[in-house]
Every structure is written in C-alpha cells, then in structure tokens.
A and B are shown apart, each in its own frame.
Chain A
Amino acid sequence: MTQVLIKNRKKGIESLRSPSHVSLESFTRQFDIPVSSYSRVISEITRNCSGTPLSTFSSDEKSIREKLFDAKAIAKIKIAEVSMHLDTKWREKIFRQLDLMHDDADWESDDVPIQILSIVTFLRSLGVIDYKKYPSLGMSNSGYLLAAWLYNENRLTLEFLPIDKVRWVLSVKSEDSYESAAGETQLPVLMSRLSPYDPGQWFLHGNN
C-alpha cells in the first residue's frame, strides 16, 4: 500500500492525541512519520480559539462588500499565523479561493461567511497530513471550509468542522463501477479511516 507521509510532532502532540482508546502507536503503525518543525508550529494553533465574530455580519452600517472583506480578513489573519511555514504558491491559492468563495455578486442575506473554527481545523490538519498536492477549496452553507482532491476519476472531499472534526466522502473507480464511502471523524484518526482507499493517490499524486 502506498505510504502516506504524516507529520509528527515531538512537541505539542498531546493537543492532537485522540481519545485514550486509540493510542498513538496504532495510529502510526502503517505510516512513516517524519519529524517536522512545521508541524510543531501547527500544534500551537489551539483548536478552541474564538469563532468568527457575529458582529461582523450583524452590523447594518457596512455594505455587504465591506462585511465580506472583514470576514475574509479575519480568516487570512488566522492563516497568516502559520504563513511562514506555507509554500508561497499555496498561501496565494488559499487567499485567492477565499476571495472566490465570498463573491458579493450572489451573496444573500442568510449566507454564512467562512468560520474561523473551520479554518483552525484545516490548519491543524496540515500538521497531521503532508499535503503534497494543493486541494481546491470551497465552502459549505454553514461556512465550513471544503477541500477536494481529484486523481483521475477518484475523488476525496473533506469538510473541516470546528474542534478537529472532519466530514469526509470519497469515490474510487473499481472496474466498471464506483465505490463510495463517507464518514465524520476526529482529525487524529482521519488517515486511519481513509487508509483502505489509498489516500496517497490524492495527497501525494493527485491532480486538480
């Protein structure tokens, strides 16, 4: 099975340790875990930071465009906390896609902007999974960040929920049909849930 690189942290790994019945050893059994100072920084992003201020969108004094600008700015500032550890191209891609997601041309009054707690889960996932391929990013109606990887006809989508929760769905081509699977899991055990489907095809070799 393709080995998937998963970042390990010597410092702060407790912050991502899964519930006690899943030991770190079982999580790492099938994967190589290189040590990375980058992931040490990611671990410093606590999963329980404050959410997107509702006042950003409740104020009537600002235009929709101004409110969207503020919401994007909050997200970009959070991403900037680790930007020195992000590839420049990927940081620019993330910012560009944040702009696309917050298009004022079709923004409705009950639309929800990107939620900071979702950004936090996404950034913390960078400390667990070494994404060699950049995903395409989107956003759900709840303001949660979406990421999609395509490899030929196989697709993986992750939805980053608050507090290290990830909703995933995938489809892989199998002879003449597709096999699909979905789940909702905690970040530390995400790779073990995806392991039967060779996640390396997306994270290491996928193309968008």
Chain B
Amino acid sequence: MILGSGFCMAITKKNRALVDDAHHVARYLKPKFLIRDALDEKIIGVYGQAFELRSGEEFLSVNWIEYFELPKLDALKNIVSGMKASKLSVSSKGALAVANIANIKSIGKDRKSKIRVEYRPTQGNKSHSGIFNTLNEDTEMLDLLSREAFSELVQIEKLVMLKPVGF
C-alpha cells in the first residue's frame, strides 16, 4: 500500500507502509556533516557520510514531510519539535536536508539497489520514516544522495525561532 497517493485524497498513515514517490522526506544533519563556505557561516553542501548507517541501524532515519499536510516550512518546524519530543537532540548549527522520494529511489536504481521509504512512526515523532537499502560501502551512492537528492538545506537556527503549527 502506498501512502499519500493523489492530490485530493486524504493521506492515510499506516505503520510500515511505503510512502508515495511524489512525497518528500527530511533528514536532520549534525554540524559535522555540513560543508560550509570560507567563513564557516553559510551551508553550501552535505558530506555523503551523513547518509552512512551507524552500527546496528537497519535504515536511515528521516521524517515524512507531507505527513503534516501543512506548508513545507511549517512541516519542518513540526519535524524539529517532534524530534525534541522524542528526546532527540537538535543543534541550532545543524540543518534539515529535504529530498523527493522519487529522486532517492532513482539514485538507488542507478546504483543497483532497491531503495524504499517506509513510514515508521515512533512515540512523539509521528512523521518518522526510514530509507531502506542504502549501501555504506557504495561511496558514490552516498555522495549522490548528498548532492542530487538531499540538495535542499534548511538551517535549524532559522526554523527554531518560529512556533510550530498544528503540532
């Protein structure tokens, strides 16, 4: 079952169901994964290593943006609130990286891996989802994810000043 299909249909949210390719996910990136300009101020890119699975991880943690059925900025604010509600630390120097699911899967296809995105809510982090079948040993895949999929970056310090909507 694919969640969120169709513009006019209400988005159904079933645990472990696939999220629609037309939708988007956001991944929180710690400051150490961000490429900055010469003055270390503006974020201009992301290291591929930001998409490595850590030891024991089954999937890459992300948040489903369309879950909230809100404008993107409001959804991102809610994502940050959700992370904090689940006791996940968020640094103001970090960023959210946004990607379209179809783009993510396209990279997987190019690199011969069937990437999928599943809805995996947790207590307090209702939009939590997972990207499955990325390959730590495929440095080029990780680099492609960082450059071509997760290319839209929103700094946390610009989000946290604003109150979440409908959370």
Contact A148 B45 (CB under 8 A): yes
Give the residue of B49, B91, B140, B147 whose beta carbon is less than 8 angstroms from that of A140.
B49
Most buried by A among B35, B36, B45: B35
Docked Cα-Cα span, A119 to B52, in Å, equals 21
Among the stretches A34-42, A50-58, A103-111, A193-201, the one at the interface with B is: A103-111
**Minimal beta-carbon separation of A97 from chain B (angstroms):** 6
A208 with B144: in contact, given A101-B31, A105-B92, A139-B32 (CB under 8 Å)? no
- Asked if A100 is an interface residue, CB under 8 A from chain B, the answer is yes
- Asked if A136 is an interface residue, CB under 8 A from chain B, the answer is yes
Docked Cα-Cα span, A182 to B92, in Å, equals 32
Query: 1/0 contact trace for B40-73 toward A, CB 8 Å?
Result: 1000110111001011000000000000000000
The bracket for how many chain B residues form the interface is 20 to 34
- Asked if B16 is an interface residue, CB under 8 A from chain A, the answer is no
Contacts of B45 in A (CB 8 A): 136, 148, 150, 155
Docked Cα-Cα span, A134 to B37, in Å, equals 10
Tell me how many residue pairs across A and B have CB atoms closer than 8 Å: 91
Interface of chain B: mostly helix, strand, loop or mixed: mixed
CB-CB contacts below 8 Å: B128-159 with A: 139-140, 142-144, 147-148
Q: How many residues of A contact B (CB 8 A)?
A: 33
**Minimal beta-carbon separation of B123 from chain A (angstroms):** 18
CB-CB contacts below 8 Å: B73-95 with A: 89-94
Docked Cα-Cα span, A208 to B49, in Å, equals 19
Contact B35 A105 (CB under 8 A): no
Residues of A at the B interface (CB closer than 8 Å) are 93, 96-97, 100-103, 105-108, 110, 134, 136, 138-141, 146, 148, 150, 155, 157, 159, 167, 169, 171, 178, 180-182, 207-208
Residues of B at the A interface (CB closer than 8 Å) are 30-38, 40, 44-45, 47-49, 52, 54-55, 89-94, 139-140, 142-144, 147-148
Given contacts A103-B91, A138-B49, A148-B35, 4 further A-B contacts (CB under 8 A): A106-B31, A106-B90, A138-B33, A207-B38
